[in-house]
């Protein structure tokens, strides 16, 4: 498993505690901030044979539904990566209990996970599945400040 992170994600969460189904999430990911801790690999995955950040510098997520799922939330939406849009569902733990942030606003935490197919989004088509697995687990750790 190769672990990496994106250094710049901007998201808006509208959380409706009274009716969770009226909640929503939008997010924009700066794909050029991909970092696996190995500069050579980072340059390769940012290139035209993987993320192609010159052509597709940004990934997007827009929720279409939010529902309770056991003790968690299921946030379904459209995820666009490398110009390909597919529906995905994130399983979300949280929100945590509010805590006062350094900005004097209440903050809550969330952790969201999903697994996408690398091949379905056209990532690394030049690399066969035995070389790079098809399943890509995405984990988002979010700190949200009430506005």
Q: What is the pLDDT of residues 28-54, one digit of tens each?
A: 999 999 999 999 999 999 999 899 999
Instruction: Calculate mean pLDDT across residues 84-105.
Output: 93
Nearby residues of 18 by Cβ (< 8 Å), 6 or more positions away:
none
pLDDT at residue 87 in the model = 98
3-state secondary structure of 69: strand
pLDDT of 96-140, one tens digit each?
889 999 999 999 999 999 999 999 998 887 777 777 888 999 998
- Write down the pLDDT at residue 104: 92
pLDDT over 90 (residue 89): yes
Alpha-carbon span 23 to 15, nearest angstrom: 5
């Amino acid at each position: 498993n190769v672990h990496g992170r994106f250094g710049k994600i901007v998201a808006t969460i509208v959380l409706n505690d009274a009716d969770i189904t009226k909640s929503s999430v939008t997010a924009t990911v700066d794909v050029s901030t991909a970092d696996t801790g190995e500069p050579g690999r980072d340059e390769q995955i940012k290139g035209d044979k993987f993320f192609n950040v010159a052509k597709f510098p940004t990934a997007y997520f827009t929720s279409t539904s939010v529902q309770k799922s056991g003790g968690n939330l299921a946030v379904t939406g459209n995820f666009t990566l490398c110009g390909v849009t597919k529906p995905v569902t994130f399983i979300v733990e949280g929100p945590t209990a509010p805590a006062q942030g350094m900005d004097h606003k209440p903050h809550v935490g969330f952790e969201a996970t999903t697994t996408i197919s690398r091949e379905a989004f056209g990532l690394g088509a030049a690399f066969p599945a035995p070389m790079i697995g098809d399943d890509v687990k995405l984990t988002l750790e979010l700190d949200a400040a009430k506005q």
